[in-house]
Chains A and B, each alone.
Chain A
Amino acid sequence: MEDMKQKSEWTDALRNRMKGAQMEPPAGGWARLEKELGATGMRRERAVPWKRVATWTAAVAAVLAVVFFAVPDKGVQEFRSSDDSNSKGVAFRLSDFFFRLQTDRLQTSDECSADESVAGLLSVSLKSVSLKSKKDSLKSEVCQSKKDSLGVCKSDSLSATPPGNPATPASSPFRPDHWLADAAQSSPGSGRGKSRGRITLGIPGGGTGGGTTSVMPGALALMNGNYYYSSRPMAAPPAKGPSFASNPYATIGNYVFNHRPELSVGLSISYEPIERLVLETGLVWTTLSSQVITPANTREQRVQYLGLPLYAGWRFAGRGALSLTLSAGTTVERCLGARLGTWRQDERPWQFAVGGQMTVGYGLGHHVSLAFQPGLSYHLTETRLTTSRTGHPWAPSFRLTLQYTL
């Protein structure tokens, strides 16, 4: 009815006049168009501007390389095989990753796995230290005649027998991940920690503010400058290796972690090389916050990260200033600091994650928009501390970003 009311004879007449209306196009319009279409006849604007994409990719890769390799990391350690005449490899640990460079033949044995039989090749393996050391340990038990060619165990300062762990083979040197894995096995909700040989305790649900709760029976111990939890009380610290820290939380009892949702704020730059395809990067500041309840008191744990996300997405909808984009990508995070109450904690310097997110953008201007980005990330690197990511590699996140569109 409203439509009928708003149509009138004169507008109908106007529409009829406009139907076949023509106006002089600009002089030189075709010449300009032809130039842009290119000599090959391909539409330049439609094609992906590979040169620009390559430039951006190279720039981001360069920044990542500088951050990853040039920033001094006290965790860097180098190991050189020396006890195995057949192995002339070089191995080193950088941050949480284990690199192995083999320039000569490794000992080949029928009993050993193919992984060990890399012959005459230069190979580089990228593995988590904890996973690697666990693997090496198993191999050392299977391949009795062969020592650990990389000497990782011997370089580790923790070589004492774990407390209350008689099952540990005498021939297998004790490493913290054994002890921690043992702790994880005896705790509920610790699937991920078990597989990684690292403690990850957590019972999802029941948290405050939409977070998760982890109940941790046992004790907090200091090892190698890092704090770990054991599922079983330790009567006394071993002579060499784990020892109690002189902190108020190193007591026997249950620890309850109420994890809050992961919140991030950041600045990002997005670019559309072709229509609707959105590439995004930037800097994101993330806080993992948990309430830690001990039998004695309650403290706040905060872990902060500065992250560099690299996402590619598809802008599938838009209305007015609002736009919706689905994207996936990876995020590299550098730990800025971790505190439990006023007590400073040690956390792994780097975190890697892949994930997906939905971006709800609201345009504030021609180039600037405010983006709310709820997402789900899979964290490839486990946190050393108990956080909302521990034991739950798939973690939801909520990010608020000020976005600049190129």
Chain B
Amino acid sequence: MSEQTLVEECRKGNNAARAELYRAYSPRLMAVCRRYASGGEQAEDWLHDAFLKIFGQLDRFRWQGEGSLIVWMERVARSVAIDSLRQRRTIDFVRPDEAGNELADVPEPTEDDIGRIDEESLIRLIGELPEGYRVVFNLYCIDGCSHNEIARLLGIKAKSSASQLHRAKALLAAKVRQWTSIMDNG
């Protein structure tokens, strides 16, 4: 069944089509949710909510060619995650004065280092970042948002977003280096 047909059937309320959509795209959306979540359970809840929202808002989806469906679905999943974090109103942003400076001198990982780590482990490493770092890193480095967009989304200043990203990168770089060194040492 093509994407378009699948969407049409889902719009009609066909549960078989919905099941197929879930099977086809839930691994991708799970990865998105897991990147933003601190744990697997939270990601599973978001995945569930994201699919509820997707099925509820399919009428708003406009077909723009092959691949447009997953882009739209990932955007919905991301908004579910961000909304959930915002509703808690407690996105824990680490203040610059609270963060240590010990990460300042950590060398950046190389592209090869990134290539050596499997996707699931990379996602888990991102998930280990403090909440504020994690959200800003995901939005900026992976989902391509600007600092102004992040500031609007999270209700923070653009400078604060940049600061969080800087520290998130340093912390993640350290984790990646640590991971690769463990791999190197067997």
Contact = CB atoms under 8 A, between A and B. Distances in A.
Contact of B108 (A10, A42, A319, A363): A10
A23 B144 CA distance: 21
B27 A24 contact: yes
Contacts of B155: 319-322
Contact of A6 (B27, B119, B169): B169
A74 interface: no
Interface residues of A, number: 42
B100 interface: no
B142 A46 contact: no
Contacts of B169: 6, 8, 11
Contacts of A41: 12-15, 18
A2 interface: yes
Nearest to A33: B51
A209 interface: no
Given A32-B48, A319-B152, A24 B30 contact: yes
Interface stretch (A13-21, A232-240, A376-384): A13-21
B129 interface: no
A40 interface: yes
Contact of A22 (B27, B48, B87, B142): B27
Interface string B6-33: 0000001111001100110011111100
Nearest to A39: B15
A10 B113 contact: yes
A52 interface: no
Contact of B52 (A13, A14, A36, A363): A36
Nearest to B49: A45
B86 A320 contact: yes
Given A3-B147, A14-B142, A320 B89 contact: yes
A346 interface: no
A318 B83 CA distance: 11
Interface string B57-69: 0000000000000
A59 interface: no
- Chain B interface bracket (under 10, 10 to 19, 20 to 34, 35 or more): 35 or more
Contact of A320 (B23, B31, B154): B154
Contact of A33 (B48, B146, B156): B48
Contact of B119 (A8, A17, A32): A17
A69 interface: no
A7 B145 CA distance: 12
B186 interface: no
Nearest to B153: A319
A365 B90 CA distance: 8
Interface string A311-352: 000000011111000000000000000000000000000000
Contacts of B95: none
Interface of A: 2-3, 6-15, 17-18, 20-26, 29-30, 32-34, 36-37, 40-43, 45-46, 318-322, 363, 365-366
Given A17-B119, A43-B56, A320-B89, 4 more contacts: A6-B140, A24-B27, A41-B12, A321-B155
